[in-house]
A and B are shown apart, each in its own frame.
Chain A
Amino acid sequence: MKLLKLVPDHTNIDFMRWRNIAVILSTLLTVASLAYTFYRGLNLGIDFVGGQVVRAEFARPVQIENLRARIDSMGVGEASIQALGNDRTYQIRLPRPSGPETAANQVVSKLRVAIPQQFPGARVDAGESVSGKVSEELASEGAKAIIFAMLGIAIYIWLRFEWQFGVGALLTLAHDVSMTLGFFAFTQLQVDLNVVAAILTIVGYSLNDTVVIYDRIRENLRKYRKMAILPLLNLSLNETLARTVVTSLTVLIALGVLMAIGPEVIFGLAIAIFLGVLIGTYSSIYISAPVLVWLGVTPDSFIRVDEKDDKTTPGAQPA
């Protein structure tokens, strides 16, 4: 049986040749993503802005206009209604009412009673309400978690490798997270707690790739002390390329299936991680590695201080 080799043996791509173009492009895209996110804003779910969502299943097909008219007549605010797969299942989202913290929950109670009354046989399958206070807390906790995760991982990389690698990891993460946010701003897909979980996963996953490449760079720096840094990075990237491609593909296969046929509640989570894997694979090659060149990583970076001393003072005997 002939085995599949997605990356042929002795592949030798000069990745670093395009590093300046790639980095400029990535920087521009990152800045554009952030700017666009600030300009257009994210479509934040009720987890982060408060409000209420009800998911209802009707006995007979219902026109969206009809449903909207009925809900508008209840005087609970302007509903945003979304069909879930068919014309009998709808998700109804309402803005957070002004007033006390309990107001949001009272709206859900009202809908839960009114929908089966107005549409006989209808069933409210899920109801969520989040007050303003809780949503503010969830938003700040989510942001904190992402920042702490990025810093925590960067510090770990710094401890395990060298400071240049830590900086490289942090920049890579900043790139991946910004791009993911930009995607959500562009598509206006809803950002809920699950998406925060997805971003944290991306933070963990993207670094997974970077760590494997860094590990190989470190190994090669020790092995080929005379090699210039650019060919050495190219060598390391090519050596790990097969693994990068295969692993990314397995994760994409698993997530692709989840996106296509998994429960719709976690579609946001699945698509965010799917995208993050793509971005993370790219950035581990074109952000993580070039950063090392600018930060001046050389074979000497991994030689311990006492070894350096031995070299600079030729007369000294090694202990």
Chain B
Amino acid sequence: MLDFPRWKVWIVLLVVLAGVYLSIPSLIAGTPLASRWPSYLVHSKINLGLDLAGGSHLLLEADQRDALKTRLQAKEDEISTELHRDPRIEVGDISTADGRLSFLVRDPTQVDAAVERMRKLSQPLQLTGNRDWDVSVVDSTRVVLTPTAAGTTQALKDAMSVARDVVRRRIDPSGTKEITVITEGGNRILVEVPGVEDPEQLKRLIGQTARLEFKLVDLEASPQDVLQGRAPPGSEVLPYPDNPGGYPMIAVKRRVMVSGDQLTNAQQGYNQDGAPAIDITFNTAGAKRFGRVTQENVGKPFAIILDNRVLSAPNINEPILGGRAQITGSFTVQSAHDLAVSLASGKLPVKLNVIEERTVSAELGKDSIHKGVIASIIGTFGVILFMLVTYGRFGVYATIALVVNGFLILAVMALFGATLTLPGIAGFILTIGAAVDANVLINERIREEIRRGRRLLDAVETGYREAFRAIFDANVTHVISASIMAFFGSGPVRGFAVVLLIGVVTSVFTAVYFTRMLVALWIRRTRPRELHI
């Protein structure tokens, strides 16, 4: 028992001091003291979870049907471009029924050539040896392209990684906020934004696919047909809720003049009437194309289409050559600003739906911290009092161990940048209650050994040795359940598990080694003859 060499004492003291030192930045965070903490000292501190700091947690899921549709549309454009190239192959309308693309080749001798060119378009997938589209011929002249399962998965994966970057840019255009945007499980994106004031704005920003297209208005379509959703070949009918002409629908040419992919910038501004609008700037290729099309179609209207809804359909009064244009519609300043941010960050390759939201205001978070801290302090005092009246001197040792343990938990969490959540505070309080268990085991064992008539030194020695086995096994059960919690749990619950895990490890150190050192030093110094325990 007395065998506690000086170097061990130094190591234990060093760990304790390091614990206190590392936990200071977390303890003084948010108080005036924080600004007076010297800059050359350690600054890593515990992160607060969204339930304590306030903020929004959003789980977004790709809309699979929309993803499929978008992919078919993109493929349709690709096919159409390919077939128009020399030598041109004449085909009928491209159909997108049943999640497949098909078209009729007008000249039966060209079927093989068409199939050959379609095969060339399909991409081989890494490692699998599959291609992303199957090409086949039905009824000897109809070429059918079917997306393969592997191709769809790969496309979704690619889309999700683009979507993740787009979402990040939309929430945090300047790239300075501490936000989390990560993909989860293939078709989901987890977004965590601390301190958000208005989650609805956040959701609007993310919710917009922002697929911007400019298309010419089809003036030949008869209004009756348009109202029934019918459009002439090569055109389509789109909703136009703010149509000043009265009909909520409009027919536009299918061919895209310019799309939002070719923007370099978008900003909220005002039109000549002072109404909010969005000023956009095209890149060189986009500006050229926009200039050419507007030159060829002066006097005709074109439609500005966002996510398949027509925002407005102004007339082309003169060719727009500078690559700058203005999007008008019925905007408020806020909605124009949001749309500008969405456009500038690029379109989402797939529509994202919010399937889980958890938002806590900063006030509620502060209130939780306040109540949690008070409960922790009172709980700790209760436990300390109980220890003191039960074990006297050894209770004092247990108390010091308890306080040191509190520092060590904070220090380890700060060191790893762990996140403290509201259940984490509960974990902290629980750990305080459970950490003394090791001391209880030791102290009760010492009492027992003294009752059996062992001499003081022998009793203390045996107490520590025999109790350790039970302490170890009992803590392993905690580690098992906490690890499983950390593995399966989400956000706040994981925070609880992390505190429990750290607490178990640090409490074994403080309750066993630290108190053992205190007891050894005491015995060595005073050589007591009897033990009051």
Q: Measuring CB to CB, which residues of chain A are less than 8 angstroms from any residue of chain B?
A: 1, 3-6, 9-10, 55, 100-102, 104-105, 108-109, 112-113, 123-131, 133-134, 138, 141-142, 144-145, 148-149, 152-153, 156-157, 160, 193-194, 196-197, 200-201, 203-205, 207-208, 211-212, 215-216, 219, 239-240, 242-243, 246-247, 249-258, 261-263, 265-266, 269-270, 273
- In the complex, which of the residues B368, B392, B429, B488 contacts A142, with contact meaning CB atoms closer than 8 Å? B488
Distance of A153 Cα from B481 Cα, bound (Å)? 8
| Any A CB within 8 A of the CB of B110 | no
Contact B359 A254 (CB under 8 A): no
Contact A265 B51 (CB under 8 A): yes
Distance of A262 Cα from B379 Cα, bound (Å)? 10
- In the complex, which of the residues A127, A211, A219 contacts B477, with contact meaning CB atoms closer than 8 Å? A211
Residue of A nearest to B491 (CB): A193
Contact A105 B437 (CB under 8 A): no
Residue of B nearest to A216 (CB): B470
With a cutoff of 8 Å between Cβ atoms, the chain B residues found around residue A242 in the complex are 444, 447
In this complex, the interface size class of chain B, counting residues with CB under 8 Å from chain A, is 35 or more
Contact A215 B473 (CB under 8 A): yes
Distance of A105 Cα from B207 Cα, bound (Å)? 12
Distance of A50 Cα from B50 Cα, bound (Å)? 20
Q: Nearest Cβ in chain B — how far from A149, in angstroms?
A: 4
Distance of A28 Cα from B480 Cα, bound (Å)? 29
Contact A152 B476 (CB under 8 A): no
Contact A262 B426 (CB under 8 A): yes
Which has the most chain A C-beta neighbours within 10 Å: B386, B387, B485?
A: B485
Q: Measuring CB to CB, which residues of chain B are less than 8 angstroms from any residue of chain A?
A: 51, 59, 61, 199-200, 203, 353-361, 363-364, 367-368, 371-372, 374-375, 378-380, 382-383, 386-387, 389-392, 422-423, 425-426, 429-430, 432-434, 436-437, 440-441, 444, 447-448, 451, 466, 469-470, 473-478, 480-482, 484-485, 487-490, 492-493, 496-497, 500, 532-533
30 inter-chain pairs at a CB distance below 8 angstroms, sorted by A residue, are: A1-B532, A3-B391, A9-B447, A10-B451, A101-B353, A105-B354, A105-B356, A125-B361, A133-B61, A134-B356, A145-B487, A148-B488, A149-B485, A156-B476, A156-B480, A193-B492, A204-B477, A215-B469, A239-B448, A243-B441, A246-B444, A250-B386, A250-B434, A251-B433, A254-B380, A257-B375, A257-B379, A257-B382, A263-B367, A263-B368
With a cutoff of 8 Å between Cβ atoms, the chain A residues found around residue B389 in the complex are 3-4
User: Closest 9 CB pairs between A and B?
Assistant: A254-B433, A204-B481, A251-B433, A145-B488, A257-B379, A131-B355, A262-B375, A207-B477, A215-B470
Residue of A nearest to B488 (CB): A145
Residue of B nearest to A146 (CB): B484
Distance of A134 Cα from B353 Cα, bound (Å)? 12
With a cutoff of 8 Å between Cβ atoms, the chain B residues found around residue A261 in the complex are 371, 374-375, 378
Contact B355 A102 (CB under 8 A): yes
With a cutoff of 8 Å between Cβ atoms, the chain A residues found around residue B372 in the complex are 262-263
Contact A131 B356 (CB under 8 A): yes
Q: Nearest Cβ in chain B — how far from A115, in angstroms?
A: 12
Distance of A144 Cα from B436 Cα, bound (Å)? 31
- In the complex, which of the residues A129, A240, A254, A265 contacts B368, with contact meaning CB atoms closer than 8 Å? A265
Contact B477 A3 (CB under 8 A): no
Contact B490 A138 (CB under 8 A): yes
Q: Nearest Cβ in chain A — how far from B52, in angstroms?
A: 9
Distance of A270 Cα from B532 Cα, bound (Å)? 35
Name A's interface SS.
helix
Residue of B nearest to A262 (CB): B375
Contact B59 A269 (CB under 8 A): no
A101-B355, A194-B492, A239-B448 given as contacts; is B436 within 8 A of A55 (CB)?
A: no
With a cutoff of 8 Å between Cβ atoms, the chain A residues found around residue B492 in the complex are 193-194
Distance of A114 Cα from B499 Cα, bound (Å)? 39
Contact B426 A266 (CB under 8 A): yes
Distance of A249 Cα from B383 Cα, bound (Å)? 9
Q: Nearest Cβ in chain B — how far from A9, in angstroms?
A: 6
Contact A125 B360 (CB under 8 A): yes
- In the complex, which of the residues B59, B356, B368, B451 contacts A9, with contact meaning CB atoms closer than 8 Å? B451
Contact A194 B437 (CB under 8 A): no
Q: Nearest Cβ in chain A — how far from B396, in angstroms?
A: 12
With a cutoff of 8 Å between Cβ atoms, the chain B residues found around residue A270 in the complex are 426
